[in-house]
Structure 1
Amino acid sequence: MLSQGTAVISNASVDGRAVGAFATYNLEQVEAVVAAGEQTELPVLLLAGSSHFRHANRRLLAVLALTAAEHARTEVGVHLDHCRDLDELRWCVEAGYSSVMYDGSHDPFEQNVAGTADAVRIAHDRGVWVEGELGAVGGDEDVSTGVRTGAMTDPQQAAEFVDRTGVDALAVAVGNVHGFSPDARLDLERLAEIRQAVSVPLVLHGASGLPAEEVRKAIKLGVAKINVNAELRRAYLDAAAAALPDLVEGADAVGMWRAGRQAVQQQVVETLLAYGT
């Protein structure tokens, strides 16, 4: 079923767990994420966002994700990730997305507040919940590796941001980066201060490569949504590369896609079991 309202993330926050939000660029990845949610009987979020639209036509990917969510045997949300365009955000809200993220984190504070507040007004009119971001999570969510951390979220500024914008969830920068970075470590003390300063659930982008115990501590400190992308890309590519030599002669593209889908599903299952219970 297609997730509705903020319960999927607010319940996770109350229960001390995190909902997995998984990047999708094509049919196989959408199928894999939904299948993993059904296998584990845990809620999942399909990330069909702004960077993904650079690869897949926005309308086609949105329809694909929404249709898969509506027919799933578990709760599946469809989330617009890292949107900086209010017209695009409005389009996704009207298309039926269950949640959206307005990313003004690279703008000056007042501009971020104004843009995020506009996004909240657009989305809340349709019952759609909104994630904002404060601080700078480094890297490109599609390809990044070895990225340095950006400016971290200030706890007191986070309180002001949440109060003035009315966001339902807040993505924070506490040492996390997009993609794999062997040197990335979470500032758990800062995260705890943010948790004390704001009442909304927190979101972690860029957990790839972080020690599992560190991520579990972050969940205990209020992180209720974790975005996953790099691990899925790596799982898909590794499986496709391994299968390809045996498939080339027969031009078996379906076999390659199947291998990638199965690998992504397994990765999502492992992530859900680690962070979703």
Structure 2
Amino acid sequence: MLANTLELVSEARRRGVAVGAFNTYSIELTQAILQAAEHLNQPVILQLGVASVKTGGEPLVRATVVAAQRAHVPVAVHLDHCADLGMIEQCFSWGCSSALADGSHLSFAENVALTRQAVALASSYHATIEAELGYLAGTEDGVTVEAVKASLTQPEQARAFVAATGASMLAVAIGNVHGFTPNPPPLDFERLSQIASQVDIPLILHGASGLGKENVQRAISLGVAKINVNTEVRTAFLSAIATWGLRVGPTPDVRRSGQDWLDLMREAIAAAQMVVTEHMQTVAMMP
């Protein structure tokens, strides 16, 4: 069933757990995420990045919303990392229930201005705005930010930012990075604790791929209620396709069992579903 993002995240926060938010690029990847959520009977957030929306347009967004509506667990649909108010409004009109109005690359004053406009826009759609203060190193959907340019969230600034913007959720930078890292980056948990003491809204942790169960669950214990995962799931899906290609060879024979499109998609969906399941068990604090 299609759910309100803020309600899902707020309920997770109340229970001392988090909601997993996973980026999707196609109906097949959406299927993998929803199958994992339904198997565990857990709520989930489907996220669409700007590049995905530009590529798939309204059909992709609406298909994602319909998939959420027909799911047997609560599912929210979220537009991730978008600085374009026009795209945010368009996605709201297509059924998304939340968006990250990403002004993290702007000055503090410009970030406040963008976020306030997004919050005002969202109110007319009964939607939710996630904001980001501080920005992450790493690569997300082909956009790379060098580590030297990354900026950590300042706790006192976070309080002023939330008060000035009215944002309902806040993504923080505490040493986390976009993309997969073989060795988990050191997270500044003291900074996270200070931020949580300054604001009374759910905190969001981006870049959870490769962080490890212990780090993620410690962040949840300090106030994080939405965990974003993209790279690990996408890589599992693509790796399954690559493995299938190596096994089948350059010229598939669609008359043979295991060599047609649906065979390929079944393998890719299963691989992605396994990774999503592991992350959902972590954020739901399952043993």
TM-score band w.r.t. shorter chain: over 0.9
Shift of 1:142: 2.0
Q: Which 10-residue stretch deviates more, 45-54 or 197-206?
A: 45-54
Aligned equivalent of 2:107:
108
Counterpart residue identity of residue 214, structure 1:
N
Give the Cα–Cα distance (whole angstroms) in 1 for the partners of residues 5 and 262 of structure 2.
37
Shift of 1:33: 0.9
Give the Cα–Cα distance (whole angstroms) in 1 for the partners of residues 76 and 184 of structure 2.
32
Give the Cα–Cα distance (whole angstroms) in 2 for the partners of residues 118 and 145 of structure 1.
26
Q: Secondary structure at the match of 2:80?
A: strand
Counterpart residue identity of residue 258, structure 1:
R
Give the Cα–Cα distance (whole angstroms) in 1 for the partners of residues 159 and 145 of structure 2.
31
Please tell me whether the aligned partners of residues 37 and 43 of structure 1 are also in contact (alpha carbons under 8 angstroms). yes
Counterpart residue identity of residue 236, structure 1:
F
Please tell me whether the aligned partners of residues 104 and 133 of structure 1 are also in contact (alpha carbons under 8 angstroms). yes
Shift of 1:221: 0.3
Aligned equivalent of 2:47:
47
Is structure 2 residue 156 aligned with structure 1 residue 167?
A: no
Q: Secondary structure at the match of 2:22?
A: strand
Aligned equivalent of 1:240:
241
Deviations 1:166-188 (A, max 9, x none): 01100000000100233612100
Aligned equivalent of 1:262:
270
Q: Secondary structure at the match of 2:116?
A: helix
Please tell me whether the aligned partners of residues 145 and 180 of structure 1 are also in contact (alpha carbons under 8 angstroms). no
Aligned equivalent of 1:198:
199
Aligned equivalent of 1:227:
228
CA gap 1:165/1:49 in 2 versus in 1, 3 angstroms: same
Alignment of 1:1-277 (within 5 A): 1-4=1-4, 6-54=6-54, 56-143=55-142, 148=147, 150-181=150-181, 182=183, 184-248=185-249, 249-251=252-254, 252-277=260-285
Please tell me whether the aligned partners of residues 139 and 145 of structure 1 are also in contact (alpha carbons under 8 angstroms). yes
Shift of 1:139: 2.4
Give the Cα–Cα distance (whole angstroms) in 1 for the partners of residues 247 and 19 of structure 2.
37
Q: Secondary structure at the match of 1:175?
A: coil
Shift of 1:69: 0.4
Give the Cα–Cα distance (whole angstroms) in 1 for the partners of residues 22 and 171 of structure 2.
15
Please tell me whether the aligned partners of residues 22 and 47 of structure 2 are also in contact (alpha carbons under 8 angstroms). yes
Counterpart residue identity of residue 122, structure 1:
L
Q: Secondary structure at the match of 1:158?
A: helix
Return 5+ residue gaps in structure 1 as ranges: none
Q: Which 10-residue stretch deviates more, 253-262 or 87-96?
A: 253-262
TM-score by length of 1: 0.95
Please tell me whether the aligned partners of residues 19 and 226 of structure 2 are also in contact (alpha carbons under 8 angstroms). yes
Shift of 1:143: 4.6
CA gap 1:276/1:109 in 2 versus in 1, 3 angstroms: same
Please tell me whether the aligned partners of residues 5 and 127 of structure 1 are also in contact (alpha carbons under 8 angstroms). no
Shift of 1:51: 2.7
Deviations 1:96-132 (A, max 9, x none): 1111110000000000000001000111222111100
TM-score by length of 2: 0.92
Please tell me whether the aligned partners of residues 137 and 144 of structure 2 are also in contact (alpha carbons under 8 angstroms). no
Number of residue pairs aligned between Structure 1 and Structure 2: 276
Give the Cα–Cα distance (whole angstroms) in 2 for the partners of residues 145 and 242 of structure 1.
27
CA gap 1:27/1:247 in 2 versus in 1, 3 angstroms: farther
Shift of 1:146: 10
Q: Secondary structure at the match of 1:139?
A: strand
